Amino acid sequence: MRRRHEVEAEAAGEAAARAAVTVAPVEPDPEAAAFFDVDNTMMRGASIYHFARGLATRGMFTTSDLLKFAVGQAVFRLRGNENPEHIAVARETALAFVAGAKVDDVVRLGEEIYDEVMADRIWGGTRALAQSHLDAGQRVWLVTATPVELARVIAQRLGLTGALGTVAETADGVYTGHLVGDLLHGPAKAEAVRALARREGLDLTRCTAYSDSANDLPMLSLVGQAVAINPDSELREHARKHDWPIKDFRTGRKATMTALPIAAGVGAIAGGVAAGIALRRHYRSQ
């Protein structure tokens, strides 16, 4: 004979099941996607710079080294937007970030440092925008000059589809110090999005792109809807002329933001050089 509490538990369970509201699964929208820049769009500051900071806390190089790079590049930023010479320097110094390092080590450090340093720097407003696309059944990709391994860590931690980033050549699980192609910056971002669209069957007229920088105008102009997030002055003006939505989540932090190495070239130079020094010291000490 069943006990009274067993009967009551069963009745409660059945009642709860009847009262439950069934939420229909999100209907996939295979032809639409959203593309998000990372530095100062999804995250405050430059992701590669934050990675270098994380290496500094591990004693892999000194904070004075990091400060030296940061101050120099902040001045670099204040003098104006990036130019081809700056990007050429960024390309070369981006190699220093991983030359001679093991891929698995960079991924592991990226995961640790994201949790320690980067997670709290994600813009809540931008994260909500990304989630709205996911909720609509659309795929969401990060598109950044940051090395793709670090970009993937950020995408995974945010529950996004994936990431397009600068690809470094590897051999036997070790970075060779050469890039595959070029730094994923400016027009290269647009080419990466276009190539992904072909591979994934995306209709770019139904896609959305988000960025803070006029350097990403090629990518922003490629899709059906462009959105300026925390825009620099040039992008803000362009967005107004073209009736693009503008969203600014900085709220009183603009002065602080100016002092951070935000732009792709700045992040690659300041963070890439610092991280490269740290990783080389690390491997020499082993």
CA angle 222, 228, 233 (to 5 degrees): 110
Asked about 39 being catalytic, the answer comes back as yes
DSSP 142: E
Distances (CA, A) of 91 to 87, 132, 210, 266, 269: 6, 34, 23, 11, 8
Asked about 29 being catalytic, the answer comes back as no
Determine which one of 29, 37, 182, 232 is catalytic: 37
Which residue in this structure is represented by tokens 């997030």?
229
Determine which one of 29, 39, 172, 232 is catalytic: 39
Distance of alpha carbon 234 from alpha carbon 221, whole angstroms = 14
Report CA dihedral (272, 258, 226, 34) to the nearest 10 degrees.
40
Helix (H) or strand (E) holding 195: helix 187-200
Active site residues: 37, 39
